Structure 1
Amino acid sequence: MTHDGRIARGERTRGAVIEQALLLATVSGLDGLSLSQVADALGVSKSGLFAHWRSKEALQLAVIDQARAQWRDRVVQPAMEAPPGVRRLWSVHDRRIAFYEARVLPGGCFFTNAHFEFNARPGVIRDRLATELTDWMSFLTGLAAEASTLGELRPGVDPGGLAYHVESLGICAVMQAPVLGAAPTYATARRQLIEHLRAVATDPTILAEQP
């Protein structure tokens, strides 16, 4: 029981550290993240954190894992409850904007910030982020392709192009919100996609209940 208790406490500590590291990374940058910074924020000793991560790179990779899990839980899984097709594609965008509106992360969007930070810096972290982006765009393209297969998109609509449109609105929204105002920016991001989806849908009325 004592051994199990230590394991449980270790897992709780690890979870708390990763959560804090994710928050800090959206403000200070993923490269600016350090075990010392996280330890200071949590009020724990830096030496204790070395039991979980032996290097800054290991901590950065763990933060990316945490960000992916958070995105899955807060955005992807709730959106998948919508009917397949254009309504599900809309739901992903709507959930994404809601995630930003809730200010879950003080820096807005972990992945958007990290991609800009590491795009021109070859290495393990950039490669991992590239994989995340590839997976995400494949997911969006798959949703658009599913809508096409279901006959919900007009002939000639490119699933990849539609996915690019969705992603562009999301990135633009989270980047502009702190400067131009969150409420009008996020309202525009929602309105622009719903109008576009209605324009390319074979039956725009299936999106009538959306804002």
Structure 2
Amino acid sequence: MSVTELPLKSPRTTREGRALQKGQQTKAAIVDAALGLATQIGLEGLSIGALAEVTQMSKSGVFAHFGSREELQISVIREYHSRFEEEVFYPAMQEPRGLPRLRALFRNWMNRTSIEIDSGCIYISGAVEFDDRTGPVRDALVGSVKSWLAAMNRAVVQAKEEGHLRADIDEQQLAFEIHGLILALHYEARFLKNPGSIDRANAGFDNILKLYGAQDALPARLPNKSTKSTKASKE
């Protein structure tokens, strides 16, 4: 089929496509505003009315994009998780497997946490709001947190497989302790406003790696060049 024979889009199809694109852009803008609001007042504080006021839209206009307050909350959780992955997870995946990647995950997590000391963390505030509830919002929040913690646990397992951690460690215990550092940091820095909390969290991470026998960032199974050359000279 030649270019001249290709079917042309009708004006109606073009208009519908533009309307769909505009609708998606508007929804993305609403979710962005909702996320900013949720970090300040929590997921439970979100309402169609409050968001309409912030975005200077009508309540019916906001409602048309979500249909319910519950769907709005879930959309915020998904957006938060997506940004978390972009800032914390994906950049760390560029590092070599093992300790370099584990360090990158924690470093990126700390960088984000240092910002959220002022703005708030949806994972942590959401856990307080929905820890004793059931329903789709809690399920979405739990699913996001578990997905991230599973990624951290995989990084620990890989560091063990690469020989950067002791062979007898409990991977889940190590991941648990790393997660505990982040939770303690939020409490110390955001709630108690204790100075030096970030430095203590970083020191705690280094202590954990020392405790569990972390070696150099290079795979421990690789032969030491100086040892190899010394052995060759003796032979």
Q: TM-score, normalised by structure 1?
A: 0.89
State whether residues 46 and 73 of structure 2, in contact with CA within 8 Å, keep that contact through their aligned partners in structure 1: yes
Q: Does 1:137 align with 2:167?
A: no
- Long gaps (5+) in structure 1: none
- 1:76: how far off? 0.7
Question: Could you say what secondary structure the match of 1:83 adopts?
Answer: coil
State whether residues 29 and 113 of structure 1, in contact with CA within 8 Å, keep that contact through their aligned partners in structure 2: yes
The CA deviation string for residues 30-85 of structure 1, in whole angstroms up to 9 with x for no partner, is: 11211111111111111111221111111111111101101111111112222211
Equivalences for 1:115-154 in 2 at 5 Å? Answer: 115-154=127-166
Q: Does 1:170 align with 2:182?
A: yes
Could you tell me which residue of structure 2 aligns to residue 191 of structure 1?
Answer: 203
Question: Could you say what secondary structure the match of 1:135 adopts?
Answer: helix
Question: In structure 2, how many angstroms separate the alpha carbons of the residues matched to 1:167 and 1:133?
Answer: 11
Q: TM-score, normalised by structure 2?
A: 0.80
Of 71, 75, 80 in structure 2, the residue corresponding to residue 58 of structure 1 is: 71
- 1:5: how far off? 2.4
State whether residues 52 and 59 of structure 2, in contact with CA within 8 Å, keep that contact through their aligned partners in structure 1: yes
Segment drifting more, 55-64 vs 130-139: 130-139
- 1:140: how far off? 1.4
Question: Could you say what secondary structure the match of 2:22 adopts?
Answer: helix
Question: In structure 2, how many angstroms separate the alpha carbons of the residues matched to 1:173 and 1:24?
Answer: 22
State whether residues 101 and 182 of structure 1, in contact with CA within 8 Å, keep that contact through their aligned partners in structure 2: no
- 1:202: how far off? 4.5
Question: Could you say what secondary structure the match of 1:152 adopts?
Answer: coil
Could you tell me which residue of structure 2 aligns to residue 35 of structure 1?
Answer: 48
Question: Which amino acid in structure 2 is aligned with residue 173 of structure 1?
Answer: L
State whether residues 93 and 170 of structure 1, in contact with CA within 8 Å, keep that contact through their aligned partners in structure 2: no
Q: Does 1:49 align with 2:45?
A: no
Of 217, 229, 235 in structure 2, the residue corresponding to residue 206 of structure 1 is: 217
Bigger radius of gyration: 2
Please, what is the CA RMSD of the aligned residues? 1.9
Question: Which amino acid in structure 2 is aligned with residue 109 of structure 1?
Answer: C
- 1:142: how far off? 1.1
- Long gaps (5+) in structure 2: 1-13, 219-235
Instruction: Evaluate the alpha carbon distance shift between residue 92 and residue 200 of structure 1 in structure 2; reply closer, same or farther with a 3 A threshold.
Output: same
Question: Which amino acid in structure 1 is aligned with residue 69 of structure 2?
Answer: K
Could you tell me which residue of structure 1 aligns to residue 170 of structure 2?
Answer: 158
Question: Could you say what secondary structure the match of 2:196 adopts?
Answer: helix
Question: In structure 1, how many angstroms separate the alpha carbons of the residues matched to 2:205 and 2:137?
Answer: 31
Question: In structure 2, how many angstroms separate the alpha carbons of the residues matched to 1:13 and 1:182?
Answer: 40
Question: Which amino acid in structure 2 is aligned with residue 33 of structure 1?
Answer: L
Instruction: Evaluate the alpha carbon distance shift between residue 39 and residue 144 of structure 1 in structure 2; reply closer, same or farther with a 3 A threshold.
Output: same
Instruction: Evaluate the alpha carbon distance shift between residue 102 and residue 134 of structure 1 in structure 2; reply closer, same or farther with a 3 A threshold.
Output: closer
- 1:129: how far off? 2.0
